[in-house]
Amino acid sequence: MKQHRLAAAVALVSLVLAGCDSQTSVELKTPAQKASYGIGLNMGKSLAQEGMDDLDSKAVAQGIEDAVGKKEQKLKDEELIEAFAALQKRAEERLTKMSEEASTAGKKFLEENSKKAGVVTTASGLQYEVIKKADGPQPKATDVVTVHYEGKLIDGKVFDSSVERGSPIDLPVSGVIPGWVEGLQLMHVGEKYKLYIPSELAYGAQSPSPAIPANSVLVFDLELLGIKDPAKSEQGDAAK
């Protein structure tokens, strides 16, 4: 609830820039001007992700002008509360629909994917495919590993990628989503897997970000680069 209220408020602020005439030039020279543009850009992205693309940018600009100029507001508080409630209800309905669609599509995807050659399904429901085999050691739940990864939705949309950032990450095996905890312990250092993670082994009914709808099946290209040496890590911490 609070998240949607915040998103709606943030979206309103973002539309100030959108309210400007497309032919009006905006100077972006001073730090304040650049920061203002950055705020609008970030909030505009948030707006798009929330699906609120029909708000009136001119009304937004008028509201801010009235507030800054300490003018009498044109709508009563009761009217504003009613309007925000309507937007929030619409946002919740949209998220519920997306969640239901993701759940249905995910189940169908996993069912069909399980029939493909090379795909293994574990007792938990995790599906994986060995892309590159290696003979390195296997991590334990207590280990910290170095990995490269790319996460996608079942439609192929990338939502996170260390590959794109050009930098692998270190993470505790037991500190990630259940699908990763299980998948990492199946791998040998040097191997590449493709993990197909059911929503209940990922984020379930909770959406960690607008880029990942609730109840989504997640697909990861995962490469296990190494297992961190606890002794060296302790020595490094002691040297600091």
Show which residues are catalytic. Answer: 149, 159-160, 177, 203, 220
Phi, psi (5° rounding) for residue 5? Answer: -65, -45
Burial class (CB in 10 A: 0-12, 13-18, 19+), 234: exposed
Structure tokens at 199: 């929503």
SS3 annotation, 114-163: CCCCCEEECCCCCEEEEEECCCCCCCCCCCEEEEEEEEEECCCCEEEEHH
Query: Could you give the CA distance from residue 100 to residue 81 in angstroms, rounded to a whole number?
Result: 29
Cβ neighbours, 10 Å, residue 53: 8
| Residue 41: closest CA among 56, 54, 26 | 26
C-alpha dihedral (230, 231, 233, 234), degrees to nearest 10:
110
| Residue 9: closest CA among 47, 56, 35, 36 | 47
